[in-house]
Amino acid sequence: MPSRDRIFARIRHNLGRGPVKEDAANLLRARIEGHVPHTIPKRTDISHKEQVDLFQVKAEALDATVTRISNMEDVPEALRDYLTAHNLPSRIKMAPDPALDTLPFDKTPMLEILRGAAAPEDEVSLTPAFSGIAETGTLCLASGPETPSTLNFLPENHVVVIKASQISGTMEESWARLRKKFGAGNLPRTINFISGPSRTGDIEQTLIMGAHGPRRVHILIVDDGPQD
């Protein structure tokens, strides 16, 4: 018997309950697989353009910075401008995602682009987002060979590329996108929901940035039109 089944069997035994009857099991299974959303805030029931604007407002309220660009080809120059404005190094550790490999970095030869997982010496990372949540200004990032989670947390400066079409109203919609792409029983090993730079106020209620992740989060929103 698998470990999970043994654990559940022991719980049922200690509760004085036998196996779940078939009708009840079918009802529970339908509820789990139905993915019925809970109460959805009214403020997200707006046009997609307004959702993108709301995402930016909420993200900036959480100390992230945002730049809007017209297309993916503008990413290298927008990245260069951000690094220059903050006097950051031009050495970038980029997610080995094929979508980023097509970016015209030849237009910004001063940037040194390295691909792969983050290392302790990396100060700036560049990653794609899986989706964005307008309700809270939150980024959803899915781990995988092409998007190592270390890039989200090790470098002190995290630059994230997200298309406007990837932004929707709520977290429930992000989970629906994940299930649609990967399958309900085959989600990525790690899903990170990131709302602004890392911070903590645990010590004497003094806000400290970069406690468990990057000190800066910069979001490049590519205005590619409405979502599919």
pLDDT digits (tens, 9 = 90+) for 132-154: 999 999 999 999 999 999 999 99
Structural domain contains residue 64:
yes
Torsion of CA 176, 146, 185, 6, to 10 degrees: -130
What is the extent of the structural domain holding 104? 48-222
Are 28 and 55 part of one and the same domain? no
Q: Is the pTM higher than 0.75?
A: yes
Are 105 and 214 part of one and the same domain? yes
Are 119 and 161 part of one and the same domain? yes
Are 169 and 199 part of one and the same domain? yes
Structural domain contains residue 40:
no
Are 14 and 57 part of one and the same domain? no
Q: Which tokens hold the place of 32?
A: 């789990």
Are 87 and 194 part of one and the same domain? yes
Flag the least confident range among 75-84, 176-185, 213-222: 176-185
Count how many domains the chain has: 2
Give the separation between CA 47 and CA 69, rounded to whole angstroms: 20
Are 60 and 27 part of one and the same domain? no
